[in-house]
Amino acid sequence: MRELETEWLDNDGIARITRTSPLRGQADRAVAAGRATRLLPGIVVPADRVGETDVRIRALRAWHPESVLVGQVALALQGVTPLDADSSGLGTVHQVEAFSPTRHIRRDGIVVHRWQVADHYILDEPYALAVPEMSVLLLAIRGEWEWVCAALEHGLVTPWSCRMARGAMSWRFRQHEIDAALGGISLEPWSVSEFQLAQTLRGGVNPGCATARTLLTAAAA
């Protein structure tokens, strides 16, 4: 197993195993013994590191370098952490989500969508990332408002920039879903509790008020 362990050490927990790899037998035995996991096709990682988000990202990049990170993991890499999270950075992410025009896969802790996305919605970072507006819209449509609020509070996106990016999602989700997400984003909430209260107040106290804080101020007056 020494060669496999050396491969892990040299590549920070990642071993790429092809059909002709001299490490294939060692990898098969390590997986059978429970010491390793095939996280993705041809990608073997130590069993005790399979839950590490950064290992999952590196595994994904080794398996498919053209994949583009989106959603929670993309926002975390851009410095966003939900307000009530117990940790920060990648420690707040439990699933690595990405898209690719050619591949689709779903594994424990990793999902890759087969999506065709225009290049101007993709950032060329150390990892290829979706623009933050695309991630925020995706999470808002799903109701993951703790991440949406954190991105707004962080100043990474604005309601206007999200409206300008609706084309990133218009082919994937229905118009009313996108409209509802943008309606919530337009309140500019900085926390889930602020968002929920503003949603309640928006139809009552002063429908003309634009943001959550304006609504809350009007309600207190």
pLDDT, residue 33, reads 96
Q: What's the average model confidence in pLDDT over 175-204?
A: 86
Q: How many domains does the chain have?
A: 2
pLDDT, residue 1, reads 61
Classify residue 164: in a domain, yes or no: yes
Classify residue 211: in a domain, yes or no: no
Give yes or no: residues 82 and 146 share one domain.
yes
Q: Give pTM, 2 decimals.
A: 0.88
Classify residue 208: in a domain, yes or no: no
Give yes or no: residues 121 and 187 share one domain.
yes
d(CA 47, CA 204): 54
pLDDT, residue 89, reads 77
Give yes or no: residues 56 and 41 share one domain.
no
Band of residue 215 on the pLDDT scale cut at 50, 70, 90: low
Checking if the pLDDT of 220 tops 80, the result is no
Which domain does 20 fall in, by range?
Answer: 1-49
Give yes or no: residues 81 and 153 share one domain.
yes
Q: What is the mean pLDDT of the chain?
A: 89
Give yes or no: residues 2 and 87 share one domain.
no
Phi, psi for 76 (deg, rounded to 5): -60, -40
Does an H or E element contain 181, and which? helix 175-185
Give yes or no: residues 44 and 139 share one domain.
no
Checking if the pLDDT of 28 tops 60, the result is yes
